[in-house]
Amino acid sequence: MNDIRSFIQALPKAELHLHLEGTITPATLVELSLRHDAQPLTLEQAEALYRFNDFSEFLEAFKVVTRLLSGPDDYELAAWRMLQQLAQQGVVHAEIYISVGVIYLWRNHDPHCFEPIFAALERARRRAENELGISLYWIFDAVRHFTVEEAARVFRKAAELRPQYPSIIGIGLGGDERRTGSEPFRHLYDEAKSAGLRLTNHAGETTGPEAIWEALAIGSERLGHVLSAIHDPALLDELRTRAIPLELNPTSNVRTGVCSSFAEHPLRRYFDAELLVTLNSDDPAFFGSDLANEFYLAHTEQGFNEDQLRTLASNSIRASFLPSAAKERWLNQIESLT
Ligand code: ADE
Ligand code: ZN
């Protein structure tokens, strides 16, 4: 067991579906509360915020934790801690969702609230690049059930800041697919693409295959969760022939109750069908896993051997938005790992 854990740790990996706010642990929340609050949160109170029974309650818990981040310093600490945790797992590159939509919501849509927060996030990113040797791109995530206007605000902020901050690589839509699909955002995806942003989308997490077709129809390049594609052979064919990168999150799906167990997750079947699958941890502080552990569970629960784990790592680099020279470098290192 130690051998496989060491092998996984040593594999250069990219994490492509990770929400910054979902990496904040109860202990960090307590630390932040001690900074700000006259009556700081206890650890028990903080831990209680992370309890949920289903997907809807999870989304609420995620919002509550995000609301407790009170300003740039908190975001910088959260990002730095996240990057330290990633580096410890052998993650060499990360593409991180920031819930910009939630930030605007809690700050009464103050148009100036975000820039100081983003400057702080950039400080953490640069420090990690220098001190930990890990690279990071940001993906501005809107909450799909917060209205199209809210998403427009988020995506246009990404387009506006990108010339100054090339680390802003793309946009995405999270939130509740059962309430809002992808079609209403088509014009915003077109606009973001014209601004040079890459297009991701949560699709088929709590909904059927039709939601995944819809996400593809508006031009989404990379898809998160894609759990229900397993029920639609024509869709599996489409995902394979177009080599659409899939950001799978097995433990997340088990914990939010949309998949019965890791062993039952379609990861293995997608992999065997030669889809471009990647493993990710989504919101590790809520789900009690992390990327290295997802690799480990792929081994123990679905029988992925070392070579197949190596392929998952290579897929993560291929599916990233890194330039091709950087991809080549990491792919060579993965290939030569003994
Ligand atoms: N925001 C954070 N995690 C999410 C998830 N798993 N699905 C939708 N929105 C999210
Ligand atoms: Zn997600």
- Burial grade of 86 (CB within 10 A; 0-12, 13-18, 19 or more): buried
Strands 13-19 and 246-248: unpaired
Mean pLDDT of 36-46: 95
- The 10s digit of each residue's pLDDT in 198-221 is 999 999 999 999 999 999 999 999
E strand map for 120-195: 135-143, 168-174
- Does the pLDDT of residue 1 top 60, yes or no? no
For the cut 90, the answer to whether the pLDDT of residue 322 exceeds it is: yes
Ligand 1 midpoint to CA 329 (Å)? 31
* Cβ of residue 327 lying under 6 Å from some atom of ligand 1: no
Ligand with the closest atom to the CA of 143:
1
Q: How far is the CA of 206 from the centre of ligand 1 (A)?
A: 10
Quick one: pLDDT at residue 70? 86
C-alpha–C-alpha distance, residues 252 and 269, integer Å = 18
Q: Supply the pTM of this predicted model.
A: 0.97
Catalytic residues: 205
Residue 338 has a pLDDT of 86
Does the structure show a pLDDT above 80 at 110? no
- Alpha-carbon separation of residue 7 from 82, 177, 207 (angstroms): 22, 37, 35
Domains contained in the chain, CATH given: 2-336 (3.20.20.140)
How confident is the model over 242-260, as a mean pLDDT? 98
**73 Cα to the center of ligand 1, angstroms:** 24
Spatial separation of the C-alpha atoms in residues 309 and 298, rounded to whole Å? 8
Mean pLDDT taken over the chain: 96
| CB-based neighbours (< 5 A) of ligand 2, an ion | 282
* pLDDT (tens digit per residue) in 90-105: 999 999 999 998 887 7
- In ligand 1, the atom with minimum distance to the C-alpha of 62 is 2
